[in-house]
Amino acid sequence: MATAARVAGVGTVVVVLAAGAYATADAYDVVPGVVTLAPPVADPLPFPTAPGAIAPTAVPRVLGDLDPQAPLPAAPQVQALVDALVVDARLGPSVGVSVVDQLTGEVLASHQPDAGRVPASTAKVLTGVAALTALDPATTLPTRVVRVDAGTVALVGGGDMMLAPGAGDPTATVGHAGLGDLATSTAAALAQQGVTSVRLVVDDSLFSGPTQSPGWDPSYVRDGFAAPVTALAVDIAKLREGEYVPRSPDPSLAAGDVFAQRLAEAGVTVEGRARRGTAPSDGVELARVESAPLVDVVHYFLETSDNTITEVVSRLVALDAGLPASFDGGTQAVLHQVSTLGVDTAGARLVDASGLAAGSSLSPALLADVVRLTTDPQHAALRDVAVGMPVAGLSGTLSGRYTKSDARGLVRAKTGSLPNVTSLAGTALDAQRRQLVFVVMADQTPDGGQWAPRQAVDAFASALAACGCR
C-alpha cells in the first residue's frame, strides 16, 4: 500500500508540474490555450468611407505664366533693331515687322505692320489656332471598312493621310493607325460571315474640290513639297522614304491597293483592283482604326511645316463649319474661326491653308495678334499651338538654325519659306525675362536662296532675345 501511495503521489506531482509547465507555455503563446501575457488586441478600425467630392487641383501648364514684374524693354531701342533690319540688303525692299509685348499687347516697334505680305508657312499658325478652337483637340480620324453588298466592301477615308501600310504604332503620329491592323480586323469579321473573297471600293468622298490647289506649282507633288489632298493615304502619299520625295498622284487609290495586299495576307482574296466608289450611309461597319488625336496632328504640321497635313486639318475645320471640305472651304473656315477670337482679319487672304500657294496675303500685325493668342491664359487650348512651334536650335524647322546663338532655346517660332519669301513669326524671351511677340515678313528677297535672308532674320530675333533694352 505504501508503495502504491508513493507511486500515486509521484504521479500527482508529475501531473501538477506538467500542468504548470503547459500553463506557462500557454501564457507565453508557445502552445495553444486561453492564457496569454500578450497585450489585448486593439479594436478594429472603422470601415473606411469614401471621401467627399473636392475641387480638383489646377492642371500644370505646359508654358509657365509670364512675370508681370519683368521690365518692359524700351521701345526706342527695339525700334532701332527693327529699323536696322528693314534696310538689310539680304531681305530686299519689301519687309514688314511687328514686335509686341506678349503680356500687355503694347506695340514696341514696327515697320509697315498693316500691309499685307506673302506669309508662306507662317499661315499655318492660323490653321492650328482655328483647329484647336473649333474642334475638340482629342478628335481622332477614323478609317473604316463598310459592307457595300454581299460581295463588296468599301475602304472609307475619314481624313487620315498618315496611315501606316502595316501595323499601327500607338506612340506615333505618322503611322498611328495601320492598314495591316484594319485588314486583320476586317478578315476576322468576314470570316464570321463565311466570306473569303470580296471586291474593294475606296470611298474618299469626305473631301471635295480639286486635290491640288490651282496656286501650286505642278512640280510640288513631284518634288515632295505636298501631296494631293484626299481623305486617306499611306504615309502622306510618299512613294519612298524621305522628307521631300515624290508623292502618289492618287493617294486614295494607292491606299486601296495597299489595303488589298493586307487583306490577301490576312486570307481574303480581293477580286480585281480597288476602284473608287461610295459606301452606303447605312452600311454595316466591319472594322475601323483611329488616327492620333488632332492636337498631335497640329503639333506635327507646325513642327515639320507639312503642307499636306495642314490642308487636311483645314478641311476638318470647314466640315465643322458646314462648309465644303475643299481649298476654298478650308481657307474660309480658318479665317472665320480666327476672327471669332477677336482678331481683325479684314483684308486677309488665304489661297490655301498651308501658305504654299501663291497669292495669300497676311499682315504682320494680324500674325502678331494670332501668335499672342497662343499664350493667352484666356485661351488655354491654344498653348498647344505655342508649344507645337519649333524651338530655336532644338526642334523642327528651327533645329538647324540658332545653333551658335545665345537665343538657342529662347525663340519659339513658325518659319515660312518660298522662292523670294522669308518669314518668321513667334516669341522671344529677352534678357529681362520679358516675352516678346515678333513677326518678320520679307516677300521680295534677292535671288540666291534662303541662307542670306534667314541669317538676317535670325540675327534680329537673337538681338531681341539678348535685349535688356533699358
- Residues identified as active-site: 121, 124, 305
Name the burial class of residue 282, with classes exposed (0-12), middle (13-18) and buried (19+) by CB atoms within 10 angstroms of its CB.
exposed
Q: Taking the mean position of all CA atoms in its chain, how far away is CA 380?
A: 15
3-state secondary structure 252-300: HHHHHHHHHHHHHHCCCEECCCCEECCCCCCCCEEEEEECCCHHHHHHH
**CA dist., res. 283 & res. 31, Å (int):** 76
To the nearest 10°, report the CA torsion of 377, 382, 290, 280.
110
Contacts of 125 by beta carbon, 8 Å cutoff, 6+ apart: 302, 367, 370, 371, 374, 385, 389, 414, 425
- The answer to whether the CB of 125 falls within 8 A of the CB of 371 is yes
Length of the chain: 470
Residue of 424, 411, 412, 434 lying closest to 454 (CA atoms): 424
Which own/partner contact pairs does 24-27 have at CB distance under 8 Å and 24+ positions apart?
Answer: none
CA distances from 225 to 6, 64, 305, 402 (A): 116, 35, 10, 24
Q: Which grid coordinates belong to 136? A: 475638340
Q: Which grid coordinates belong to 69? A: 514684374
Q: Which grid coordinates belong to 198? A: 470580296
Q: For residue 270, which phi and psi values (nearest 5 degrees)? A: -105, 120
- Sequence-ordered alpha helix ranges (H) in 104-213: 124-134, 179-192
Beta strand spans in 261-394 (E): 269-270, 275-276, 285-290
∠ Cα 273 277 282 (to 5°): 125
Contacts of 347 by beta carbon, 8 Å cutoff, 6+ apart: 116, 361, 363
Which DSSP letter does residue 235 get? Answer: G
- The answer to whether the CB of 112 falls within 8 A of the CB of 96 is yes
